[in-house]
Amino acid sequence: MLFRVDTTSSEPIFEQLAHQIRIAILQGNLAAGDRLPPAREVAGALDVNLHTVLHAYQMLRDEGQIELRRGRGALVSNQAQAVPREVTEAVAALVTQAHQAHLAPHIVVSLVKEALA
């Protein structure tokens, strides 16, 4: 799994990591039962603090996306579900249309929020 960290971003690193794992689960790149890399390995590779990675993992555990088991590491939870392909495709189509219409991201987000309300 690919992890990326932008140290210049205002978004905390643990949130960046949690977001990437969440998206990987939602897009079906990580399935229930898949093991996440050990936090120590991710921290070492990214040159970030171990507790930053653990914070991201704990956040995902609280959301029910992953399970943390002593001795077995972090596993994608059985409750975690990938988004149906039709929804992913619809989102991609929306983004393409928004780009063509030169809409700013916050406008698109507002429209989606309004539609969901």
Partner 1 sequence: MSRSAPTSRNAPISTRQILWTFALPVAVLNLGAVLPWLWRLEIPQRVPLHWSFDGPDRFGSLTELTATITIVGVIVVVGIGWITMVLGADVSTRRMGVITNTVLAFLLASIPVSTAHAARGVSDPSTLSFPSIPIGLATVFGAALGVALAFTLPREPHNPAVVLPATAAPRVALSDAETGVWVSRQFAGTSIWIAMGSILVACALSLLMQAWGLLVMPALLVVVCMTFLAWDIRVDSQGVTVRSVSRLITLHIPHEEIETADVASVSPLRDFGGWGWRTGRDGSVGLIVRSGTALDLRRTGGRRYVITTHDASTPAGLINTIIDRERQNPR
Binding site for partner 1 (CB under 8 A): 1-9, 29, 35, 37, 41-42, 45-47
Question: Based on CB atoms, which residue is closest to partner 1, 46 or 94?
Answer: 46
Taking the least distance from each CB to partner 1, the nearer of 96 and 110 is: 96
CB of 20 to partner 1, least distance (A): 10
| Least distance (Å) between residue 30 CB and partner 1 | 11
Determine contact, residues 23/78, Cβ cutoff 8 Å. Answer: no
Residue closer to partner 1 (CB basis): 1 or 111: 1
CA distances from 8 to 11, 39, 51, 86 (A): 9, 22, 19, 34
What secondary structure letter does DSSP report for 77?
-
CA–CA distance, 105 with 112 (Å, rounded to integer): 11
Smallest distance from partner 1 to CB 40, Å: 11
For the bound state, the minimum distance from the C-beta of residue 53 to partner 1, rounded and expressed in Å, comes to: 11
Phi, psi (degrees; rounded to nearest 5) at 66: -130, 165
In a 13 Å sphere around the CA of 4, the CA atoms on its Cβ side amount to: 7
40 vs 51 by CB, closer to partner 1: 40
